[in-house]
Amino acid sequence: MSKSPQKHSENDDDSNKFLLGVVEGFYGRPFTSEQRKELFKKLKRFGLQLFVYAPKDDCKHRAMWRELYTVEEGEHLQGLINAAKSSGIDFYYALSPGLDITYSSLKDTSSLKRKLDQVSQFGCQKFALLFDDIDSEMTKPDKEMFQSFAHAQVSISNDIYNHLATKINCLNFLFCPTQYCSSRAIPTVTESEYLNTIGQKLLPTIDVLWTGSKVISKVITVKDIEEITEVLKRKPVIWDNIHANDYDQKRVFLGPYSGRNCELIPLLRGVVTNPNCEFHANTVAIHTLAQWSRCNSQVNTDSISDIKLETENEDCDDSPPNYLSENMYHPRVALKNAIRDWLPDFFEAKKAFGPMLKPQPGSALAPIIPPIIPKINTCMTLTLTTTSATNIAPMPEVNTAQLHALADICSNVQTEALAKVSVMNSLVSETKVVTTASISAPISSSIISETNLEIRDKSPINVTVDVMEVEKASTEPSETGTEEAMDCGTPKHTLSDSSSINSEPHHKDETEVPQNVNGNTAEKSQLSDDVVMTESVNEQETMQEDSLSEEDKCDPINYDDILLLCDLFYLPFEHGKQGLMILNEFQWLKTNAYVLSGSKNGSNPENTEVQEWFERSKEFFKLCEMVLTLMKKIALCVNRELCYDLYTYCWEMANVVSICDSYVQWLALGHFPSNSNSYIQGSFTWFSKGWKETFMSGDQEPWIFRGGLVVDIQRLVPIDSGNDLFIYRLPETPTLNFFSVRPYNNLDESDIYKICHKTCRDGSDCTDLFPSNLQQIASDRLVAPFITLNPEFCMVVENMKKDIVGYGFAAPNAKHFYRSQETLWLPIAREKYPLTMLDSPDITPAAKDAINWFHNFKYECAPNILIQYPSIVHCSILKEQSHLDSSISKRLMCVLLSSLRTSGSSGCHVILNKSDKYLAEVYGRLGFTEIYHEDTKLILGRNF
């Protein structure tokens, strides 16, 4: 039996030691110095022994690799090296010069040596040269000097290694090739001239990094390792990207180390894991890697595969099989162990600065346009467990050939061409941004254009940006809308969500240089030292924590909460157990809801299928509540650093889960046609034939399936072309102000009337427009027809205290709705507001218009509008509440449109007064566009 890598004697030569640790090699905001020091202690405690300093966007690692460290930067770097030594961790310093190096240039070679010599003076004795994600085309001088690209890299790497070995006795040196995985080997691993040259010419004492079959490999097999070992003439060090999330801002990976059989250990020189960008999200990744490294390969060889063990326990508890040896690695068991070790971190009091920013680059490494634009963005039919599921449309099949072809293209895209423009200086401050204006050989202008970067001064002076001020300025709501008198000539539909006016994603590119930062122009900022963002706890957040009501408080986060968190954000090629439960249950409830059609609230005690539906809906509601509670507990976490790392992910998950929860509540009413399944079937979802299999296969890079579980749930929401309704502005600080949507009931009428009164004048209160005895006339005109004639398509918005703060109403067929209004509602309204009221001395112009509207109503709408946009909607949210949750207007619209879609509609319109500038812009943010206008009337519509 082979021994664990951690059981080597301390006196063993380093060249024989199994390398095991972390490489900080991701794109985006680097770790801070304090986080790295904390990481060293964790590595030691878990049993790992090395750290590779290689943050892609740390300025002097890659973009400005020639520049020496300043005295201040040197002190910080030396402090890191000393902290690593104190913790017993080997510190590897890496440089990535490949962006602009001329391999034949003596000046560049001297710059490399000078830079590494400087770092060696700080106490570092282990180094790495990284040539990943660069253009393989050589410069003209290099072509004249070297036989090939590989010869150029080998020449300079051997020279640097010999220099360091002679000067400081450096015997530990890592090399990352440009073809660093099988999918990038040209044409194949064994036939690659580049890799064969590396294997033959690179000094045998230099270790080579390798990511496996892909950039992010689901599985690394013995065959893969034996193949690359033969080519490289040495055992590879695996640079493992399984937990790296810098390519997708909606995903963080909290699942266990998986897909690497323990038989690999004796075949490898070592493993370094490239973690999540969020520092506090990496305990599971590091902890489970350490557990994997200690497993016994002989026992594992004779056992059943990890994948089979996972499947075996899918429908029961997570306990390992009785025959599982303690020396055998089981991912789910390892996850449990890691969670127990991670739990205390949630209770460690730490401060954080604000606002929350996604650490991943705004312009991701993979194509930013979704690889597949489905015609229909809804779910597919699931194989049902009920015996009566007969009203199901046939399941379309995913075009897997198209998907494979697209994956091949995306996998071979040069990642550097899509890399982030800005770099940072984490040795001094995690908030210091350096733009390309200060880089001697910046990334091409086309990339700058892609990230909407505006450089206003191209002088070579450093330009830095206060990220906090830029983000704060970018999220201030626009001042739109005026308090004009309500024109009662047409129905008024208000949606008072001021935040929606600026509801694009909150994570803007950090390199954007504002014309005015802290009162100074960008040009003036160049004349001073780097600007550092103030690191202080947000006052608003502190006040929020101090003023929590009893309803807001909850039990502290526990093991089960963290297990749910990990299941929701699992691994690149698989969702966790509880995440899959949400997907499966929502799909089942939606697909089988037809059994409720036509029944009052779907209740039928004698129908077992109906009862099964309601039983499963209760379990689904519990799952949704668990997700919302998890978000709340993360928001209240005393470790604010950890909270800031994880809250945005939980918030995004809670948003999409709350939409599903609201939609299932509406389904439970049974107010939809029996053939509703024919309206909600679609393509490219988790349940489409071939989609799940392609996702889990590992044959494509995971950025082909952007968004993870959040987007897989989103695609099940039964609206087509609704992606814009899932783009939210992230909250600046963790908040408990989360709103929910539910179906309307008769007890809500008085609250609805109040909200309509407060918002019906282009989002503002209308009290002064009407005399005291006619204060309800606006509500009787705008909301009463909906709640009287179509209450089944009425939704209300509640805050955390269950107070109603908004509503959304709809009618599937506007023509039928207004005909019914004429015959059923208007006679009642005319009795309540007779024409004799016009003679009252207190009557106001707005009241006159409203009374005349009741008595002279005539609905006229162009036939072509009703064909393409047959439904009508009317929504409103209190301004003072809507700014607390920037997503609520879109979530309300999602639920409303889903109910219309289930009823057979695929288009809706809203009628506004032409003077409603504020509302027109708000609805524009919700995907509505102008389809008709006249002197006083404006009609906006959207398809879904």
Question: Using one digit for the tens of pLDDT, what is the confidence trace for 461-475?
Answer: 333 344 434 344 333
Residue 581 has pLDDT above 80, yes or no: yes
At 526 the pLDDT is 34
Choice between 313 and 730, residue whose per-residue pLDDT is larger:
730
Instruction: With a cut of 90, say whether residue 873 has pLDDT above it.
Output: yes
Residues belonging to the active site: 133
Residue range 111-152, pLDDT digits in tens = 999 999 999 999 999 999 999 999 999 999 999 999 999 999
CB-based contacts of 555, cutoff 8 Å, min separation 6: 633
Question: Phi/psi at 846 (nearest 5 deg)?
Answer: -65, -40
Return the sign of the alpha-carbon dihedral for residues 747, 748, 749, 750: positive
| Mean pLDDT, rounded, for 792-819 | 94
Mean pLDDT of 65-83: 96
Q: Tens of pLDDT along 168-223?
A: 988 899 999 999 999 999 999 999 999 999 999 999 999 999 999 999 999 999 99
Tokens in use for 598?
């036509």
* Element holding 151 (H helix, E strand): helix 149-168
Give which of 30, 570, 509, 561 is closest to 251, Cα–Cα.
570
CA separation for the pair 232, 253 (Å, rounded): 31
pLDDT above 50: residue 777:
yes
Q: Is the pLDDT of residue 453 over 70?
A: no
Q: How far apart are CA 129 and CA 96, in angstroms?
A: 6
Give the CA-trace dihedral at 661, 666, 668, 669, to 10 degrees.
160
Please check whether residue 378 is in contact with residue 718, taking contact to mean a CB–CB distance below 8 angstroms: yes
Mean pLDDT of 28-34: 92
Q: Which residue has the tokens 């200060």?
A: 438
**Winning range, highest mean pLDDT, from 23-27, 493-497, 858-862, 877-881:** 23-27
3-state secondary structure of 306: helix
Residues 429, 431, 434, CA angle at the centre, nearest 5°?
95
- Rounded Cα distance, 108 and 95, in Å: 13
Residue 395 has pLDDT above 80, yes or no: no
Residues 282 and 276 sit within 8 Å (Cβ to Cβ): yes
In the chain, % helix, strand, coil (3-state, to 5) comes to 45, 10, 45
Determine the residue type at 834.
Answer: P
CB under 8 Å, gap of 24 or more: what pairs does 141-150 form? 141/102, 141/104, 141/105, 142/102, 142/103, 142/104, 144/104, 145/103, 145/104, 146/103, 146/104, 148/193, 148/194, 148/197, 149/178, 149/194, 150/177, 150/193, 150/194, 150/195, 150/197, 150/198, 150/201
Mean pLDDT of 390-418: 47
How high is the pLDDT of residue 435?
53
Amino acid at position 150, single letter: A
Given a cut of 60, is residue 387 above it in pLDDT? no
Q: How many helices (H) and strands (E) does the chain have?
A: 33, 18
User: Residue 60 in contact with residue 432, Cβ under 8 Å?
Assistant: no
pLDDT of 455 strictly over 60: no
Torsion of CA 655, 658, 660, 663, to 10 degrees: -130
User: 183: closest CA among 208, 211, 223?
Assistant: 211
Cβ atoms < 10 Å from Cβ of 789? 19
Quick check: 894 and 722 in contact, CB under 8 A? yes
Q: How confident is the model at residue 926 (pLDDT cuts 50, 70, 90)?
A: very high
157 CB-side CA count, 13 A: 32
Q: Is the pLDDT of residue 69 over 50?
A: yes
Determine the Cα–Cα distance for residues 771 and 792; give it in Å rounded to an integer.
32
Alpha helices in 574-707 (DSSP H): 577-591, 608-635, 640-667, 677-680, 691-697
The confidence score (pLDDT) of residue 469 equals 40
- Indicate whether 447 pLDDT > 60: no
Start-to-end CA distance of the chain, whole Å, equals 61
Whether 586 contacts 713, CB under 8 Å: yes
Closest by CA to 359, choosing from 444, 420, 449, is 420
Q: Confidence class of residue 933 from pLDDT cuts 50, 70 and 90? A: confident
The string of DSSP codes covering 445-506 is HHHHHHTT---S--SSS--EEEHHHHHHHHTSPP-----PPP-TTS-------GGGGG-S-S
pTM of the full predicted structure? Answer: 0.84
Phi, psi of 734, rounded to the nearest 5 degrees: -60, 135
The pair of structure tokens assigned to 35 is: 């986080």
* % of residues, the chain, pLDDT over 90: 61
Identify the band that residue 861 occupies on the pLDDT scale cut at 50, 70 and 90: confident
